[in-house]
Structure 1
Amino acid sequence: MVKLYDKGVYLVNGRDIIEDTNDAAAAIYQKTGLKDVDKDTAKKATMAYEILKNHNTSGNMENLKLKFDKLISHDITYVGILLTARASGLEKFPIPYVLTNCHNSLCAVGGTINEDDHMFGLSCAKKYGGVYVPAHQAVIHQYAREMMAECGSMILGSDSHTRYGALGTMAVGEGGPELVKQLLERTYDIPMPKVIAVYLTGSVRKGVGPQDIALAIIKAVFKNGYVNNKVMEFVGDGIKNLSMDYRIGIDVMTTETTCLSSIWETDEAVKEYYEIHNRPSAYKKLQPGQVAYYDGMVYVDLSEIKPMISMPFHPSNAYTIEEFNANLYDILDEVEKNALISLDNNKIKYTLKDKVRNGKFFVDQGTIAGCAGGSFENICDAADILENKYIGSGEFSLSIYPASQPIFMELVKNGAIGKLIASGATIRTAFCGPCFGAGDTPANNGFSIRHTTRNFPNREGSKITQGQIASVALMDARSIAATAANQGYLTSAEDIDVNFGKPSYFFDSRIYENRVYDGTGKPEPEVEIKMGPNIVDWPKMSELTDDIILKVVSVIHDPVTTTDELIPSGETSSYRSNPLGLAEFTLSRKDPAYVGRAKEVQKAEKARINGEEMTDALPELKDIYKAIEAKFDIDKTKTQIGSTIYAVKPGDGSAREQAASCQKVLGGLANIAKEYATKRYRSNLINWGMLPFLYDGELPFENGDYIFIKGIKDAVLNKNSEIKAYVANKDMKEFTLRLGDLTDDEREIIINGCLINYYKNRK
């Protein structure tokens, strides 16, 4: 099904695979007649290298300084980005910047505050010269596909699923501060990433959809980190056998592999896509050079992929539906064991075995939605499966969200919507809510099958701290429809007799022309920004002092900690424009005591800043100072006091900057981790002035301990690879922390205390 190569590979003539062995040169010569092929030259023959070279401003391909062509954000990220940019001196958008409204578009929580954010976005698009896509028009990534992608270009988005590789665009999902840098005409700085080939061959079986292919790949590469922070480059003779919606559906899920970005070969199907969307000039042929070298290869035989189900609580926890149904209790046992780790709450008994009825597995809900599920072909195929069938009048429900109004209109015209409504399904407008817990939240103990992007703990909207638990499995739209046709009993689309009509798609550009505001390149400086009462500027943040004291306020031993666990999605989305209000939810699903502990420490730092006695604010500091002063001379008034958390591998999942900024707002100065799950979370820490420490080994500290670091400012400035730290309340026990690689700009940002301060101090 999916094979991973242990070594690097050469791809010759776009099709022949030659492993990087002593015999590679001879094999290449036999295929091409080329002698003495140089590996470094072959690395430059990848599509990724060429695109990165064309966007690099550093003059050094080992250390990239990238400028993107376009930016895109949605309504729970653009407010914070624009507030930061405004505070840092923004005058106009230097490149096209699209503001979409697909996360808070229900306006169901918090009074007027969701729509206030939208009016803020529209006024900023007018003032600075941007594009504003009103609510219900399109989910962020569908709009980007339809209206922004271009072959050979690069797009930076403030959503982790910013992936348009199937359309020839290298796209990256990052935290908001990285978009701020682009708005201020700075660069995105990274070492040259490794490139992994994803070789597709064969043709998909009937009933298999793009989500099935994606889940099979994710299962193979996530846990071993095979593509972590690398570029996935899709090649092979199987690409021509995939429709554009299939390619796009696979590509958007590459985020769940933890790769940095993706790029695909382009062909006549891509050309036709751009022609359908009235943008023929956006197309150009992309393919690797005659001999291209890759740092690894994921080999996928599409003909062997079967319908899949990804069980809670990660997309990589995948099985074929056939395997799952044949081994129900064994797999459910494994899921329950994983739940003990993921949920970390003994008060709630988690089981799915009560879903087994007469030897079959029953699900409560199906959802096809968002940037992964809401495509034209997914919904047409689901409609064909459900034609003249009905979903029943019991617990099972089915909801479908077309990814954009143009898709919705065409589904109405070709009759697919009529088939679905007749079956009992409900049709909604373009909305990302089911992906992050703001729509279609199941009942307590409910089980939902979804063609969306993620199935992390509580991401569907339940709140374990309030005694609720529900869970999500990821599946393809076709098998969801097959399950719906069986009124909730889990069914593979391969087991359904259906003829897929595969109707052609026609794009109606009038929908956007009549509703989307496009002020690209036409800023109106006189426009007044509309600020609702929930839109609050970032609080002031202090610069890094010579020495620091950190109190450990949360220790998380889970193998991976997601950004959802650091700052929940769903119920918090209405407060993304209010740093202080949002911070109250930090770690609320994982460690509800965190906020109170962090605030206690913050009282001491506020006292220090105000010239007050720190030990009055936090009496336990008396003994900590005594222990430190027995070993070092310090100026207490010039020694920052803050909190830190430890997590084994934090930051998987969403790009949301608030996973870091909320900690900083509460006085967090650092994270300590064995490793960081994604580059984007580590970048978020740095951009908010937090120290991204690394520590590998048995922990010398525990929750509640105080850590003293002497000379931290000098260590950052002098690029020290190792930094001595001391557990102050444990006889100054010494241990060593690392900061990992930091660019010169990143070091300055940390020393300045955050990105906003960095820009203010450079004026």
Structure 2
Amino acid sequence: MVKVIKNGVFLLNGREIIEDNQENRGKIQSQAQGLSPDAARLNTIAAGILLAHNQDGGKGLPQSLHLNFDAMASHDITFVNIIQTAKVSGLDEFPIPYILTNCHNSLCAVGGTINEDDHLFGLSAAKRYGGVYVPPHLAVIHSYMREAYAGCGKMILGSDSHTRYGSLGTMGIGEGGGELVKQLLRQSYDAAWPRIIAVYLSGKPRNGVGPQDIALAIIGAVFKDGFAKNAVLEFVGDGIKGLAADYRAGIDVMTTETACWSSIWETDETTAQYLAIHYRDADYKKLSPGAVSYYDGLIHVDLASVKPMIALPFHPSNVFEIDDVIANPKDIFGHIEKDAAEVMENPNIKLKLTDNIDSQGRIRVDQAVVAGCAGGTFDNLMTVKTILAGHNSHGGKGNEGFTFSVYPGSQPILLELAETGGLSNLINQGIIVRSAFCGPCFGAGDVPANNGLSIRHTTRNFPNREGSKPGNGQISSVCLMDARSIAATALNGGYLASAEHLDQPERSFPYHFGPAPYLSKIYNGIGKPDKSVELRYGPNITDWPPMAGLGENLLLKIVSYITDPVTTTDELIPSGETSSFRSNPLGLAEYTLSRKDPSYVGKAKAVQAASKAIAVSETEKAFALLPELTDAIEGVKSIQSLSAITLKDIQLASAIYAHKPGDGSAREQAASCQRVLGGSANFAHEYATKRYRSNLINWGILPFIIDGEPFKNGDYVFIPKIAEKVRASSPVLEAWVISGKTARPVMLKTPELNPGEVELILDGSLINHNRKGQKK
């Protein structure tokens, strides 16, 4: 089904695969035109685009990149903080097209004005600085960017992890807000040269298999061993030509869940047709790898071998064939329930998937959703309509509570559904048609009942997402599936089913893009900044609090200790109803780790208060706030070389430990909330994504790497001369774990800190760094 080659591969004429091993050495020498792997790497599609956007120019393969982008995009969870950060750092006008969409904070607040206050702030910013403002419910961020901005050879930076437009020839990168701030201030996006991995598609999908099935098969094959982590996935192969544009986009947007950095596809007449339909013929050009190209690995997907898939809780990589789950639900669900108990670490939570197995062995589904940038495409929604033709989506006997909602990705898609009759068909079939809104992806729309089983063609099914509140005993059980099998489940009376057994061939539906909804509602101020417009603030929009730079000697208290194999950004800072507080750093920080470690905020605040007391020489107050601090200082003094150290020589801060933090969302708040509460470090065995590590650095948080688990929750870690060692870019730091009055040595790694990252860490945040630059 999916074969992974972890060696490098030569690809000849975009079609012939030659694995780079000793066995093929003669074949490589005779057919690779004498090109070395590095020379042939330059013939990949990704390399051509990266080099065209690299500020440094030059020839050959650079070790590092300093990129400028063609456009940027943010939604209303992120754009207020980004603009606020850029404003205090000297923002004059948007130097490139910056699109502000409003597809997240649309239903989160219950009462109050804070959502619309954020929206009007965005409109005022678009006017003042010269940007684009897309009003609420008009389009989800990635649907709009596909329709209006993606084009062959471009690069787009977005403050959302699913910034993926590779199927339209655009390298999209999802990052935290700090990286967008740098672009607004005409600074570069810096990254090491990435691994480029080919995704070779061959054959044709079988009936009933949709883009989500293909994507889940890929994710299931590569996520757990990190094969695609921080790489570019380059889609090639003769299987591409048989896939419609929406189908390709549906696969592409889910590449984020492999933990890759970006994606890019070969382009062809299907790409050209999509752009022409959207009145953007000039954005098309043919993209394909050179005659001899080299990749750092290859994922071979035989499309015909992929069957309808389902990702069970709690990750898109937890993939099974639907038929296998239907055939053996008790064992599979029982295993998931056991895993959930370990992940949640909460005796009040008991996942009960097996309760959805009826006396006949059928799996009862409570809710179905097809939505957003992954599910809400025209092709998907028309396919749902076609599968259910002559039937309705109501539950069958014994499952009358089954519900089905769809969220078109944009108003133009909804308009075309209306004009083709698809909309009336969907409504008559009992499907609830909602507006363009991203809520089902992050827990602000169609949240299922506690322990309800929801099947969704959306992007994620993490724990602590889709409305889960483990601290309150609430758990959402979300499974990812393709729209086709979701429709088949509705046709089956709300009992889990596979679309493969419907024997309905895949269709591509003619689409006519109607721009009227955009022309009448979107504000386009690109190139027209108006400095007379004042930013419009609501009472929930506040500035960032002050943050100190890095001290010379750092004493860190471990205030949260997370042992899960992977910790998502949703666990670090919850999504859902907290989204409405994104524009209020102090207000949002109250929710940090609230669904994973409810005691974290109180413990971090205690350390922060003690640190502030030390800064003003109120040592007695500091010891009163943290009574164990007396022993910790004695522990530091017990180190022979540090016997003369005093409390005033020390900078006190908090830190967290997690095995592999940062999977999932690009939201910078996963790091900034820690910083607002006085955090200065993360300890991890590895970081799940580049974007989370970048977020930490942009907020002045040290991303330490450790071996083993050298400390426990509540211990202190002392790092003498930390600023001096960071300035020297020391890859390994000597430190001491302080437990009670006892000190023992430990080695900390700080790999891959480039000179710019060193300055950010020393200054304490990107804001501090840019302010320092303004004063020079």
What's the TM-score bracket when you normalise by the shorter of the two chains?
Answer: over 0.9
SS of 1:671's equivalent in the other structure is strand
CA distance in 2, matches of 1:178, 1:534: 24
Whole-Å separation in 2 of the counterparts to 1:625 and 1:49:
52
Cα contact 2:197–2:295 (8 A) shared by 1: yes
User: What RMSD in Å do the two structures reach over aligned CA positions?
Assistant: 1.3
Which residue type is aligned with residue 605 of structure 1?
S
- Indicate conservation of the 8 Å contact 1:25/1:36, yes or no: no
Q: How big is the shift at 1:727?
A: 1.8
**Alignment partner for residue 364 of structure 2, among 362, 365, 369?**
362
Deviation, 1:395, is 1.1
Partner amino acid, structure 2, of 1:237: D
Q: Deviations over 1:323-356 (max 9, x none)?
A: 1111211211221122122222122222211101
- Give the aligned partner of residue 162 of structure 2: 161
Counting only pairs closer than 5 Å after superposition, residues 413-428 of structure 1 correspond to structure 2 as 413-428=419-434
TM-score normalised by L of structure 2: 0.96
Q: Distance in 1 between matches of 2:330 and 2:282?
A: 54
Q: State the Cα deviation string for residues 476-511 of structure 1 (Å, max 9, x = none).
A: 001101111122100111122546664300001122
Deviations 1:421-459 (A, max 9, x none): 111110001000000000001111101000000000131
Secondary structure, aligned partner of 2:416: helix
3-state SS of 1:643 partner: strand
* Structure 1 pair 285–75 and aligned structure 2 pair: CA distance change class (3 A): same
- Aligned-pair distance for 1:102? 0.2
Task: Answer yes or no: is the 8 Å Cα contact 1:384–1:500 preserved in 2.
Answer: no
Partner of 2:711: 701
Q: Is the 8 A contact 1:166 1:266 kept in 2?
A: yes
Aligned residue number for residue 684 of structure 1: 695
Match of 2:337 in 1: 336
Q: Name which of 35, 38, 46 aligns with 2:36.
A: 38
| Conserved? CA contact 2:108–2:579, under 8 Å | no
Q: Which secondary structure does the structure 2 equivalent of 1:360 belong to?
A: coil
Instruction: Name 1:213's counterpart in structure 2.
Output: 214
Partner of 2:95: 94
Task: State the secondary structure of the residue aligned to 1:45.
Answer: coil
Greater displacement, 59-68 / 140-149: 59-68
| 1:641 equivalenced with 2:652 (yes/no) | yes
SS at match of 1:503: coil
Q: Establish whether residue 732 from structure 1 lines up as the match of residue 733 from structure 2.
A: no
* Residue 713 of structure 1: aligned partner: 723
- CA contact 1:689–1:753 (8 Å) conserved in 2: yes
2:328 aligned residue = 327
Contact 2:63 2:193 in 1 (8 A): yes
> CA contact under 8 A between 1:109 and 1:574: conserved in structure 2?
no
Q: Show the counterpart of 1:628.
A: 636
Residue 28 of structure 1 deviates from its aligned partner by 4.4
- Does the aligned pair in 1 maintain the 2:311–2:480 contact within 8 Å? yes
Does residue 1:52 correspond to 2:63, yes or no?
Answer: no
| Distance (whole Å) between structure 2 residues aligned to residue 709 and residue 116 of structure 1 | 43
Distance 1:717 1:605, change over 3 A: same
* Deviation of the 1:635 alpha carbon: 4.7
- For the residue of structure 1 that corresponds to 2:190, the secondary structure is strand
CA contact (8 A) 2:105 2:580 kept: yes
Deviations 1:55-77 (A, max 9, x none): 11134711111111111000000
Change (3 A) 1:374 1:35: closer
Task: Please tell me the residue identity of whatever aligns with 1:429.
Answer: S
Q: Which residue of 2 aligns with 1:554?
A: 560
> Which AA in structure 2 matches 1:240?
K
Aligned in 2, Cα 1:13/1:502: closer, same or farther, shift over 3 Å? closer
* 2:563 is equivalent to residue 569 of structure 1: no
Distance 2:283 2:182 in 1: 26
Q: How many residues align?
A: 760
- How much has 1:110 moved relative to structure 2? 5.0
Alignment partners' CA distance in 1, 2:82 and 2:444: 22
Distance 1:501 1:416 in 2: 14
Structure 2: how far apart are the matches of 1:309 and 1:294? Answer: 30
Farther off after superposition, 189-198 or 389-398: 389-398
The reply to whether residue 436 of structure 1 matches residue 442 of structure 2 is yes
- The yes-or-no answer on 1:761 pairing with 2:772 is yes
Report the alpha carbon displacement of residue 47 of structure 1 after superposing the two structures with TM.
Answer: 0.6
Q: What residue in structure 1 maps to residue 225 of structure 2?
A: 224
- The answer on whether the counterparts of 2:157 and 2:175 sit within 8 Å (CA) in structure 1 is yes
Alpha-carbon distance in structure 1 between the residues aligned to 2:756 and 2:386: 54
Match of 2:405 in 1: 399
How far apart are residue 25 of structure 1 and its match?
5.1
8 Å contact kept, 2:548–2:764: yes
Where 1:713 maps in the other structure, the secondary structure is helix
Deviation per residue, 1:547-595 (Å, 9 max, x gap):
0110000111100000000000002100000111101111111111111
Q: CA deviation at 1:626?
A: 2.2
Query: What SS does the aligned partner of 2:739 have?
Result: coil
Q: How far is 1:617 from its partner?
A: 3.5
CA distance in 2, matches of 1:6, 1:108: 47
CA distance in structure 2 between the aligned counterparts of 1:44 and 1:501, rounded to whole angstroms: 37
SS in 2 for 1:728: strand
Q: 1:634 to 1:272 in 2, by over 3 A?
A: same
Is 2:621 the partner of 1:610? Answer: no
Hey, what does 2:376 align to over in structure 1? 374
Judged with a 3 Å threshold, the aligned counterparts in structure 2 of structure 1 residues 328 and 732 are, in CA distance, closer, same or farther, namely: same
Match of 1:515 in 2: 521
Q: Does the residue aligned with 1:514 lie in a helix, a strand or coil? A: helix
Structure 1 residue ranges without an equivalent (≥5): none
Give the match for residue 478 of structure 1.
484
Match of 1:272 in 2: 273
Mapping 1:456-605, distance limit 5 Å: 456-498=462-504, 502-605=508-611
- Contact preservation (8 Å) 2:330, 2:354: yes
Shift in Å, 1:19: 0.8
Distance 1:206 1:219 in 2: 21
The 2-side partners of 1:611 and 1:424 are apart by: 68
Task: Map Cα deviations across residues 394-422 of structure 1 (whole Å, 9 max, x no partner).
Answer: 11000000000000000111111111111
